[in-house]
Amino acid sequence: MTVSGVERPALRRGRVATALLFLTYGVILGVWTARIPAIKQSLELSDGQLSIALLGFAAGAITGMQAAGRLVDRLGGARVMIPMAVADGLLLLGPALAPTLATLVLALFVFGAAHGTLNIAMNASAVAVEQAWARPIMTSFHAVYSIGGFLGASIGGAFAQAGVGPAGTFAAVAAALLVTVGLAARWVLAPAGVDAAGRPAKRAGAMPGIVFLGVLAFCCLVGEGAAADWASVYLRDTLASSAGFAAAGYAAFSIMMMVGRLAGDRLAAAVGVIPLVRACGVLAAAGLGTALLIGQPVAAVIGWGCFGAGLSCIAPLIFSAAGSHDPARAGQAIARVASLGWIGFLVGPIVIGAAAELVGLAPALALPALLALFVALTAGALRPRPAARA
């Protein structure tokens, strides 16, 4: 998806519009995550039942991603992401209103499908804006997403503290986000997946190299999932730190990931995408690996922070490389890569947990460090094809 002949003011507005969609995406996911305990309590779900419900969301997200690829390539990311952002905000209410586990699974599947479709559409739009901008800007979009996740979690926590139920929380957030999406809709760039006559962009045959980019996204998202699920557990149970200090592990990871993404565009422009991905992979592997060898709480927090900084730029740059690989099928390429990444995010923590039963949690957590090193060694896969460079 390329955008050419766009005047600079319109391009700036298009960048802001796409960033607002990334913010919306992050806020929705953050506020949903913050209110999961309340929904679990209201339906009196066991941990196992909640896991089934959350699998419904994951299945819906992957389904939406797969369906979104061709849709985005046919209509353009801008035409898809605006209605999907509206749907994502409104469908957030479904899980809060579900009266049973079965309806919760269904509501989360539909919500996940909209969320996954929005993911592909906004990333495809971001690739189009980046190509028109003529320099790396993808990591800034993902930084906005990280900020949105923090805001959403904070809003959800504030509503919970005030005694507002999930339905009231989601309704208030959805209303605010509809205003944000409405503003973004005025500024989005014209769809780049169709020509002036409205005909869909030409589709080529196979997309060589995309599957391997998906493998790299899988490796990166295994690390993000491991940090989310195991960082605090490692500090609390393995290193015997206090509950409050244990939370610092994932906090350090999240903060440094956001900082890394804010700096990522300038670093990519200064040193190049491939050297940056290599350096990030080495930083992630060395930071977490060294912390695991030292085995002390302070070292673990520093290690998780280095791991977050290292992973911060990798996934956005992989998405950018996938979308630039074949501009006529950017949506399908990003869908494949994002789906494999999501599988890594979901499966990785489970594999680490199973490995921990056999060898202990510290050795098991060496897996995401090794995968980050693998990404560093194979970063050349992000090099654009000659046709894409032309």
Q: What is the pLDDT of residues 219-269, one digit of tens each?
A: 999 999 999 889 988 998 899 988 788 888 888 999 999 999 999 999 999
Mapped onto helix, strand or coil, the DSSP state of residue 162 is: coil
Give the residue carrying structure tokens 């998405």: 319
pLDDT digits (tens, 9 = 90+) for 134-148: 889 999 999 999 999
Instruction: Give the pLDDT of residue 191.
Output: 56
| Predicted local distance difference test score (pLDDT) of residue 131 | 87
**Looking at residues 90-112, what average pLDDT do you find?**
95
> Per-residue pLDDT for 330 more than 90?
no
Query: 193 pLDDT exceeds 60?
Result: no
pLDDT band at 385 (very low <50, low <70, confident <90, very high): low
Q: Tell whether pTM > 0.75.
A: yes
Quick one: pLDDT at residue 207?
Answer: 65
Distances (CA, A) of 154 to 33, 38, 355: 10, 15, 33
pLDDT value at 270 more than 50: yes
Domains of the chain as residue ranges with CATH: 8-187 (1.20.1250.20), 210-389 (1.20.1250.20)
Taking residue 279's Cβ as centre, other Cβ atoms within 10 Å add up to: 16
Which of 45-54, 261-270, 281-290 bottoms out in mean pLDDT, i.e. has the lowest?
45-54
Other Cβ atoms within 10 Å of 183 Cβ, number? 12
Query: For the segment 298-308, what is each residue's pLDDT rounded down to a tens digit?
Result: 999 999 999 99
CA neighbor of 331 nearest in space, from 106, 70, 111, 104: 70
Give me the percent of the chain exceeding a pLDDT of 70: 92
- For residue 162, pLDDT over 70 is answered with yes
